[in-house]
Amino acid sequence: MSLQQEIIAKLGVKPRIDVDEEIAKRVAFLKDYVKKAGAAGLLIAISGGIDSAVATGLCKRATDELTQETGKAYMTLGVFQPYGEQEDIEHSYSVAEAFGLAHKVETNIQEAVDEIAIETEYAFKALGMPRHLSRGGKGNVKARTRMVVQYALAFDLNLLVVGTDHASEALTGFFTKWGDGAVDITPLSSLNKRQIRQIAQRLGVPEAVLNKAPTAGLWEGQTDENELGVSYEANSDYLEGKEIDPQAREILEKHFRRTEHKRQPIPGI
């Protein structure tokens, strides 16, 4: 078995999907877990990108169906988390509007992130290594701070935090382990980016969101494809078992090997 076949089997990606079947399966998955957990609903951070938009649509269907089936009110809470001014925040709000979210809130993380950066730089200085926090380091602080706020809300409201992790990200390890990756449930985990786009189109994700360049928003101008050096088209082709450009294959498999620890549970002895 080739490494490509091993990765596909490990991540559970299908070579093609029935969109309606996948939507129904993932909505049922969310509903079942909410009931098992005794939760009051789901919390999803809406970044304005396609992944969180699809997760929002699935969450809203799940809680609407639970409410209808049980007669008890279940909530999908949409959370917008800009760092200062977010140029495209209207995309986040358009997703909430498209899916009719009654519960939504904006929590700006800038002051918290900047304070953490300052305290970290004080620590560097105390260690005799005066320096600024790196761009990547501050990007990770943003991701983790967003999760702190999400869990603060979710704990008191008895909600499950929904992640947007998917197979195209898992392939490259493009997430912060136990930062934006530490969530309660991941309804997109066995889908690649192309399949997420197919589901987005069926769910009615706004066109402006569908056409955005994928970004984790870690710093100004950052895009996933530039950061990783491979397009999501090639990434999705790889996960569907297709032949891709040898250089792209090498980059993807190098990312996979280097980030294996990020896909593993916390080790112990």
Domains and CATH numbers, the chain: 3-108+147-263 (3.40.50.620)
Q: At 229, is the pLDDT very low, low, confident or very high (cuts 50, 70, 90)?
A: confident
Each residue's pLDDT tens digit, 154-211: 999 999 999 999 999 999 887 766 655 689 999 999 999 999 999 999 999 999 998 8
Q: How many CA atoms lie within 13 A of 69 on its CB side?
A: 11
> What's the confidence (pLDDT) of residue 263?
86
Q: At 252, is the pLDDT very low, low, confident or very high (cuts 50, 70, 90)?
A: very high
Place of tokens 């786009």: 197
Give the C-alpha separation, 185 to 28, whole Å: 13
Helix (H, G, I), strand (E, B) or coil at 79: strand
DSSP E strand boundaries for 128-249: 159-162
Give the C-alpha separation, 141 to 137, whole Å: 6
Give the C-alpha separation, 117 to 134, whole Å: 9
* Residue 260 is a catalytic residue: no
> What's the confidence (pLDDT) of residue 99?
98
| Phi, psi dihedral angles at 105 (to 5 degrees) | -155, 150
Where do runs of H (alpha helix) occur along 38-88? 50-70
Q: At 217, is the pLDDT very low, low, confident or very high (cuts 50, 70, 90)?
A: low
The percent of residues above 90 in pLDDT, for the chain, comes to: 81
Give the C-alpha separation, 91 to 48, whole Å: 5
First-last CA distance in the chain: 31
The residue type found at 19 is V
pLDDT greater than 70 at residue 7: yes
Place of tokens 């909410």: 34
User: Which of the following is catalytic: 22, 165, 169, 180?
Assistant: 169
Each residue's pLDDT tens digit, 112-151: 999 999 999 999 999 999 999 999 899 889 999 999 999 9
Strand partners, 78: 44, 104
User: Which of the following is catalytic: 51, 180, 224, 237?
Assistant: 51
* Residue 51 is a catalytic residue: yes
* Class of residue 80 by CB neighbours under 10 A (exposed 0-12, middle 13-18, buried 19+): buried
